[in-house]
Chain A
């Protein structure tokens, strides 16, 4: 480009005059560097690269070069040499910006004014001296610095006040390829073991090292024994730990050699190690700030830095006691931008006047170099000021908050503008690097005040809030290396916690809220798919992986902050001891809503395979945590999708809405589920062997489809213990549950209940249900087999409502109910009670418009009323002992029970009445004579007339006790059936009859696979006529042995001959030939 200077002659004359007049004012104490300007060409006048000669101080624009020479310019330096490669507006401007130096006595302001009259320059600024102030104040604390004092990382007293650093470290501690520039007061050297050499500060695991080799040097007569990455004890130093842009030699011919070591405060002697007697007055601010961001990890001997595997790189741009120089600040930022992923600036300017070029440098660092820039609002206790650079858009402005989540009194904000991005916890003091103690304890240099026990320093100020954010940014970049800087900043803000009312003032104070390291690195609300772990603690690829088991290199804690999917084809194995920690999420925290928890947000979804392999003393634990948690039902739970697989053993699930929801058959052993809405929601067969299910507000187990079996499971304090059904199913669907050896205690409503829909089957064996409203509530269209159970202290032990199908209650104890032992409503003889002990209830069996079979050895004793028949009830009562009640049998309101007929009738009597206090039989159905023949009344002479009330036909009576009653048997069919305890078959099958030929009976084995099914087994003769239906009901999965006694459905003996047993089930037909001989 060729410059054009149309008015050059005029300007030259006038400029000379101006310079002369201002020359008299160049005095020390001005707020700029004498004789220095920073100028920016307009784009169209920018000289071509190859025209510029720094040696001859020429832009290749003749008139301009002449003018500058006339004005005394002796030095030119270009800030950016990228030549059109930058994209940012600020960076593009810096490509056109130069530092110009003029001879002594030059009035730089006058020169600037002159140059700005030329068309070439859009900007000409003085190289200002700036009042740059650090934002931290240090003081001593009495105890040694240990991790427990780092409350801002992990505050046991109030979890909501910390930033969840340990939780984040479970994900990553940072990666060494991520560099945090600490643009501050430099760092300190250390002497630990070798008094002859200096070392770099031992509290940092990694320093960033350039690839430059520089000449080694000595400091106070000692070698600076920095780590030599090449391992060669030569006189050259391979590691460059930082730069000091404040100390400028006259010409920067070799900045590495001349300046790298100046980032180390070379006059400092660490007296806390008692190696010296004088202390440095070097300002420890930079070391303290850096230690918060990235000190070496330690939880015992010292503090831990947040991004402790990341490397730090120290930049100084001013010396203590000196003003900052704009030119240095620009160069420091541009230099840092070459290497930094994050630049921490715990300092600020009171004004942005004259900082346009620095702003451009920041713009370049952020937009072109993709550095995350972090700075502080500062400590002026002002509600009207956020200092610069924090106030600029591309710099993260960090304030400080207290432990009680109020804004720190010193933390600035601007009440009319939301300039604050986030806050971090500082309160009135955070601990940091212990090795800075000396500088704080005895800044005067008098080390007699030092004590080995007083090695911890603490401090307050926004300075120590910013490195928390910088550390988080470094952790994010460790996990997501390709993430853009603006996305990192957005992520930090998005993951912030919000605790305050949603007002403009609060957003002005707190920005997006308190930062949270864990949320930031786990993609709060998204899916953290990290799994395998690299050398630096970063994990990738969650799939096909194994966790826990205390195996070397494998963490035992899996953190889940968003929905976690195990996809089809993948397998997640959780070994013993694994803890899966679920972090419930807030609702719309960025919108300022209170920190509420949405239980629907986080779920573990299994589409592939989940193997949970805990051990008895070392289970796998799924639990939630967050501020104030765990709380009931604060995450969704584990869901098995159709097609998935699960093998679950020895594990614990806490605080899930639905601990386990499964659409596939599952096998579960030794499980503890607690605190939610539902323990298990089964949409397919679930087998649970040994477990504890407690404190679920809705259901312990909800069975919606398929066959669920519970063996040795304890269900306590749930809304309802076991619930079958609840929605209408398609034709052919069946639902059943069996509970063997289980205990159901203290449900809010019923122990076991069924819905009103068809195809429900319940089997309870050896199960105890106590303190429920209804122990078991069986509602219409349900079959049930209840045997050897105990129903105790319920309002009513058993409700049989609305004609359920084939209910058999056998050999069970039903006692101490509040109202009734058994309450039968609207049912017929398909209610069967046999061999039960029903005692100590206000009423043992209450029939309301119901006619159950009460037979075969029931012991109905010590009730107020043994059997009460109300509202047209006509139960069949035989072979029972009805004794020691106040009233044995009470009938009223049109009821007419059959207590025994000598001929005809349904009951043959054989009941034993004895010891009933008021009446054996009280008949208040006035128009009906109650028939109670063939019973034993405790006397060969018949009943005591005083114990009979109303019209009762008790003659004939037994003259002796009736003997042992028949064994309780199922009410349906006369052929026997057994269920074998074998391995559950995987298909339907009908075995050949045995023996064959047979007489008098033969057995047939029927196999039913999960989830169970309705099965039809019919005997046909050779003419194809159905002779006998052996089975036409739902059957549980398993092997069932049917015995045919050689009789027809009419009860007649079948003829000798060939028969065919045919089994039908959904999708299955099988026939076996069987021969009856006589």
Chain B
């Protein structure tokens, strides 16, 4: 028989961030609504706003081969001494504990991962960002009491870019989409 489609069963921990689901054989998408997104304004003026995105991680995600989170951003470059960066780096970190997170950018709050999730994004409007979150989602799926949340933005210094997540640019309402490949 063919492989079973990965079924999305949203646990209690992720109820707040659940939007619509879209299932196709071998690939399932889960849309995260605005309750999944929190915005932080840092004290350091060199940093732009950054975001905490809470991911819904069903237990079945533990067997997903690939998991991507997608969202859209507007990206602008900041003035620099000799050149403005047209491909600023979007930092992405996984939080160890969402509930205890106070907005600090102390690296001790971040989950150590074997693969970095950061990626450059070209300056412009409605840039699609795809982050491979397979590692963290798999890890969280086997820890049902844990929370899976990402910090997204210019987090590690003046990366010469400002990012603004744009909601409702996906094909269904939501701020972000999780896609699981079975």
A contacts, CB < 8 Å to B: 599-600, 603, 632-633, 636-637, 639, 656-658, 661, 676-678, 696-699, 719-720, 723, 726-727, 749, 753, 755-756, 773, 777, 779-780, 795-796, 801-802, 818-820, 823, 825-826, 842-843, 846, 848-849, 864-865, 868, 870, 886-887, 890, 893, 918-919, 922, 924, 949-950
For the complex with contacts A632-B25, A726-B65, A795-B130, 5 further pairs of A-B residues with Cβ separation under 8 Å are A657-B26, A676-B25, A697-B26, A756-B135, A870-B89
Q: Report the separation of the CA atoms of residues A212 and B97 in the bound assembly, to the nearest whole angstrom.
A: 92
B118 and A848: CB pair below 8 A?
yes
Q: Could you tell me the distance between the alpha carbons of A773 and B118 in the complex, rounded to whole angstroms?
A: 15
Contact A825 B27 (CB under 8 A): no
Which of B27, B120, B127 is close to A677, meaning CB atoms less than 8 Å apart?
A: B27
Chain A residue numbers with a CB within 8 Å of B2 are: 599-600, 603, 636-637, 639, 656-658, 661, 677
Interface stretch (choices B36-44, B80-88, B98-106): B80-88
Q: Which residues of A contact B66 (CB under 8 A)?
A: 720, 723, 726, 749, 753, 755
Chain B residues closer than 8 Å to A636, beta-carbon distance? 1-2
User: Would B89 and A657 count as touching, CB distance under 8 A?
Assistant: no
Tell me, in angstroms, the Cα distance from A890 to B88 when the chains sit together: 13
Determine whether the beta carbon of B27 is less than 8 Å from that of A819: no
Determine the distance from Cα of A897 to Cα of B182 in the docked complex, in whole angstroms.
40
B93 within 8 Å of A by Cβ? no
Shortest beta-carbon distance, B66 to chain A, in Å? Answer: 7
Find B26's partner among A678, A796, A846, A870 (CB 8 Å cutoff). Answer: A678
Chain B positions within 8 Å of A802 at CB level: 114-116
Residues of chain B with a CB closer than 8 A to A677's CB: 2-3, 5, 24-27, 182
Contact present for B25 and A823 (CB under 8 Å): no
Nearest CB on B from A733, distance (A): 16
Contacting A at CB under 8 A, from B32-87, are: 65-66, 68, 81-83, 86-87
B130 touches A919 (CB 8 A): no
B122 surroundings in chain A (CB, below 8 A): 818-819, 842
Whether A599 lies near B81 (C-beta < 8 A) is no
Q: Is the CB of B128 within 8 A of A795?
A: yes
Known interface pairs A657-B2, A864-B86, A865-B87; A699-B26 also in contact (CB < 8 Å): yes
Given contacts A773-B130, A818-B122, A820-B120, contact A698 B182 (CB under 8 A): yes
Structural contact, A600 and B4, CB atoms closer than 8 A = yes
Docked complex Cα distance between A949 and B80 (Å):
13
| Listed residue (B2, B24, B82) with the most chain A CB atoms within 10 angstroms of its CB | B2
A753 vs B115: C-alpha distance when bound (angstroms): 15
Choose among B26, B120, B132 the residue that contacts A819 (Cβ–Cβ < 8 A): B120
Residues of A within 8 A of B115 (CB): 756, 779-780, 801-802, 826
Contact A658 B3 (CB under 8 A): yes
B181 at interface by CB-CB < 8 Å: yes
Report how far A696 CA is from B182 CA in the complex, Å: 13
Count, A-B residue pairs, CB within 8 A: 139
Q: Which of B89, B116, B119 has the most CB of A within 10 A?
A: B119
State the B residues within 8 Å of A (CB). 1-5, 24-27, 65-66, 68, 81-83, 86-87, 89, 114-116, 118-123, 127-128, 130, 132, 134-135, 157, 179, 181-182
Hey, which chain A residues are within 8 Å of B24, CB to CB? 632-633, 677, 697-698
* B86 in contact with A865 (CB, 8 Å): yes
Q: Find out whether the CB atom of A749 lies under 8 angstroms from the CB atom of B68.
A: yes
Secondary structure class of chain B's binding surface, majority of residues: loop
Interchain CA distance A603-B1 in the complex, whole Å: 6
Most chain B CB within a 10 A radius of its CB, from A697, A727, A823, A849: A697
A780 and B86 form a contact (CB under 8 A): no
> A600–B1 contact, CB under 8 A?
yes
Residue pair B82, A949 in contact (C-beta under 8 Å): yes
Q: How far is the CB of A941 from chain B (nearest CB, A)?
A: 23
A843 to B89 Cα, complex, angstroms: 12
A826 to B116, CA, bound (A): 8
Q: Which residues of the other chain, B, contact A637 by a CB distance below 8 angstroms?
A: 2
- Rounded to whole angstroms, the CA-CA distance of A795 and B124 in the bound complex is 13
Out of B5, B83, B120, B127, which one reaches A846, CB within 8 Å?
Answer: B120
9 pairs, CB–CB < 8 Å, chain A vs chain B: A677-B27, A720-B66, A756-B114, A795-B128, A826-B115, A842-B122, A848-B89, A918-B82, A922-B83
- A186 to chain B minimum Cβ distance, whole angstroms, is 53
Cα distance A658–B182 in the bound complex, in angstroms: 12
Question: Would B82 and A919 count as touching, CB distance under 8 A?
Answer: yes
Q: In the complex, which residues of chain B have a beta carbon less than 8 angstroms from the beta carbon of A678?
A: 26
A720 CB contacts on chain B under 8 angstroms: 66, 181
Whether the pair B25, A924 counts as a contact (CB closer than 8 A) is no
Nearest CB on B from A362, distance (A) = 44
Q: When the two chains form the complex, which single residue of B27, B82, B87, B118 contacts A698, counting CB atoms closer than 8 Å? A: B27
Query: CB-CB < 8 A to B3: which residues of A?
Result: 657-658, 677
Contacts of B65 on A, CB cut-off 8 Å? 723, 726-727, 755
Chain B residues, CB < 8 A from A846: 87, 120
What's the minimum C-beta distance from A786 to chain B, rounded to whole angstroms? Answer: 20
Query: Which residues from B are CB-within-8-Å of A633?
Result: 24-26
Tell me the complex Cα distance, A188–B5, Å. 58
Write the nearest CB–CB distance from A926 to chain B, whole angstroms.
10
On whether the beta carbons of A719 and B89 are closer than 8 Å, the reply is: no
Q: What is the CA–CA distance of A350 and B62 in the complex, to the nearest angstrom?
A: 64
Q: Does the CB pair A924–B82 fall under 8 Å?
A: yes
Cα of A456 to Cα of B82 in the assembled complex, Å: 89
Q: Is the CB of B26 within 8 A of A887?
A: no
Q: Could you tell me if B26 and A919 are in contact, using CB atoms closer than 8 angstroms?
A: no
What is the CB-to-nearest-CB distance from A413 to chain B, in angstroms, rounded to a whole number? 38
Q: Please determine whether A749 and B26 come into contact, CB atoms closer than 8 angstroms.
A: no
Q: B91: shortest Cβ distance to chain A, in Å?
A: 11
State how many angstroms separate the Cβ of A822 from the closest Cβ of chain B. 11
Closest to B130 in A: A773
Expressed in whole angstroms, the Cα–Cα distance for A868 and B161 within the complex equals 15
In Å, the complex CA distance between A395 and B130 comes to 63
A780 touches B114 (CB 8 A): yes
Residues of A close to B120: CB separation below 8 A: 796, 819-820, 823, 843, 846, 848
Q: How far is the CA of A924 from the CA of B89 in the complex (A)?
A: 16
**A868–B82 contact, CB under 8 A?**
no
Cα of A955 to Cα of B125 in the assembled complex, Å = 42
Question: In the complex, what residues of A have CB within 8 A of residue B135's CB?
Answer: 756
7 tightest CB-CB pairs across the interface, nearest first? Answer: A677-B26, A698-B26, A726-B65, A677-B25, A657-B2, A636-B2, A697-B24
